[in-house]
Every structure is written in structure tokens, then in C-alpha cells.
């Protein structure tokens, strides 16, 4: 049985990142085609792909990540590294949350356009709305859990670094 080492980047995460890059590329291509052909269908699918790809990339980054255990015996360079990784995770979480809310807002805009008669894509609007609501229902609580752990890790690392600096006489800012 193959087990992946703690430092290895699992293949499924590489596949998710590849999917995110592919979705971003396809979304960009569809946006170009929408502009070139003046196609509402291409434009709507381009938005879907361009909104989904950063969220998938964030999920690939965060899924399966376990915080680096930090205690009083952890060397300062590892504490600093763990703090920086927690900060990166928090930035990615904020970006993914923003994308989730933009996706939901896009559903509202599509419904306004559909109900006002500006577009005629009822099936697509229903599909997009259901997918967006389902994704947000799963994604937002999952992100909140990761955010809590990242905040906890960052605070723990900062506290340990401050304790180390105080104990060794380094200037504490």
C-alpha cells in the first residue's frame, strides 16, 4: 500500500490545482469567444469557470493541511515559517469566501436579468443558482473551520516567538 510522506504533495491536490488552471484557461477562452461572437451563453459559462477556479485552487491548498505543531521547544525559524503559512492560509480563505459571495451575487444578477426579460436562459439560471447555493452551503462552513485553526496557529506561533525573544533577550517589537 502506498502512503504519502508528510512533506509530499499528494497527487489529488496536484490534480485539483491542474483543474483550477484548466478552468481558468477555459473561462478566459470562453470570455474571449463571448466578446468575439457576442454570445451570452459563452459569457455566462466564462463567469462560472472564472469564479470556480480560484475556489478550487484554494480548496486544493487547504484540503488535508494540518497545522505544524508548535510548542515551546520548536526552533524560532520553524515558528516563523508556521506563522507565515498560517497568514497565507488566512489570505486564501478570505479570497475563497469572497469568490463564494461573488458567485451567489452573480446568481442574483442572473435572476434579475432573467425575470426582467434581458436574457432568456431559465435552465442555466436554475442550474447555476442550485450549484452556487450547494457549493456555498458546503464551502463556507468548511472555510470557517480552517480559518479558526489558522488563527489559532498564528496566535500560538506569535506567542511562542515573543516568549523566545523575551527569554533570549532579543528586542520584542
With CA atoms as reference, report the closest residue to 157 among 63, 89, 87, 65. 87
Is pTM beyond 0.85 here? no
Instruction: Report pLDDT for 68.
Output: 67
CA distances from 163 to 6, 81, 83, 167, 171 (A): 28, 16, 15, 6, 11
Q: What is the pLDDT along the chain (173 residues), one digit of tens a residue?
A: 444 444 556 777 777 778 788 888 888 998 899 899 988 888 888 888 888 787 777 777 776 566 667 777 788 888 888 888 888 888 888 888 888 898 899 999 999 999 999 988 898 899 889 988 988 898 899 889 989 988 999 999 999 989 888 888 775 45
**Structural domain boundaries in the chain:** 1-54, 65-173
Helix (H) or strand (E) holding 30: helix 11-37
Cell numbers at residue 11, please? 497527487
Task: Answer whether 128's CB lies under 8 Å from 48's CB.
Answer: yes
Instruction: Report pLDDT for 131.
Output: 87
Instruction: Report pLDDT for 67.
Output: 63
Task: Answer whether 121's CB lies under 8 Å from 40's CB.
Answer: yes
Rounded to whole angstroms, the Cα distance separating 133 from 129 reads 6
CB atoms under 10 Å from CB of 64, counted, come to 10
Cell numbers at residue 153, please? 496557529
Rounded to whole angstroms, the Cα distance separating 43 from 56 reads 20
CB atoms under 10 Å from CB of 146, counted, come to 22
Amino acid at each position: 500500500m502506498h502512503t504519502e510522506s508528510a512533506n509530499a504533495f499528494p497527487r489529488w491536490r496536484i490534480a485539483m490545482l491542474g483543474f483550477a488552471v484548466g478552468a481558468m484557461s477555459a473561462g478566459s477562452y470562453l470570455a474571449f469567444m463571448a466578446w468575439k461572437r457576442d454570445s451570452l451563453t459563452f459569457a455566462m459559462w466564462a463567469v462560472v469557470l472564472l469564479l470556480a477556479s480560484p475556489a478550487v485552487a484554494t480548496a486544493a491548498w487547504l484540503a488535508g493541511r494540518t497545522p505544524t505543531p508548535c510548542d515551546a521547544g520548536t526552533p524560532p525559524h520553524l515558528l516563523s515559517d508556521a506563522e507565515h503559512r498560517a497568514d497565507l492560509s488566512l489570505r486564501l480563505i478570505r479570497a475563497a469566501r469572497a469568490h463564494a459571495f461573488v458567485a451567489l451575487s452573480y446568481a442574483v444578477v442572473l435572476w434579475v436579468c432573467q425575470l426582467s426579460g434581458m436574457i432568456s436562459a431559465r435552465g442555466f439560471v436554475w442550474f447555476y443558482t442550485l450549484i452556487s447555493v450547494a457549493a456555498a452551503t458546503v464551502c463556507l462552513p468548511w472555510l470557517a473551520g480552517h480559518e479558526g485553526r489558522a488563527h489559532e496557529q498564528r496566535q500560538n506561533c506569535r506567542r511562542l516567538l515573543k516568549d523566545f525573544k523575551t527569554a533570549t533577550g532579543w528586542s520584542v517589537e
